[in-house]
Amino acid sequence: MTWALQDAKNRFSAVAETAAKGHPQVVTRHGRPLVVIISYETYREKISPEPRKNIAEAFMDCPVPIDFDSLIPPRRTRRGRGHPVQIFSESAP
């Protein structure tokens, strides 16, 4: 069923109950679809079937071995600049 936003606000309990029974509810604003209200079960099945992994778990489950050292570029050296300038002396005054 489709609801205008103001009607959905005024009858939110009915909108939620109908969605909970497995019938998605479309809410419109100025005649344009704005949101869809679905049951939690539908959400879990369709949208988020399993909890998301954190980045470490995703890398551990990666089927392709990753050589992380090859991703870091080698450090550049300063050629032709001579020795670094020493600002502070190592001996105490």
> Residue 56 belongs to what domain range?
2-60
Check which CATH number belongs to the domain holding 21 and give it. 3.40.1620.10
Query: How many domains would you assign to the chain?
Result: 1
3-state secondary structure of 91: coil
Average pLDDT score, the chain: 82
**Which pTM value belongs to this model?**
0.51
Contact present, 26 and 36 (Cβ < 8 Å): yes
Count of beta carbons in the 10 Å neighbourhood of residue 70: 7
Inside any domain, residue 68: no
pLDDT of res. 91: 61
pLDDT above 70 for 84: no
Tens of pLDDT, residue by residue over 17-53, are: 999 999 999 999 999 999 999 999 988 888 766 677 7
Inside any domain, residue 54: yes
Cα–Cα dist 55/68, whole Å: 14
pLDDT of res. 33: 95
Inside any domain, residue 27: yes
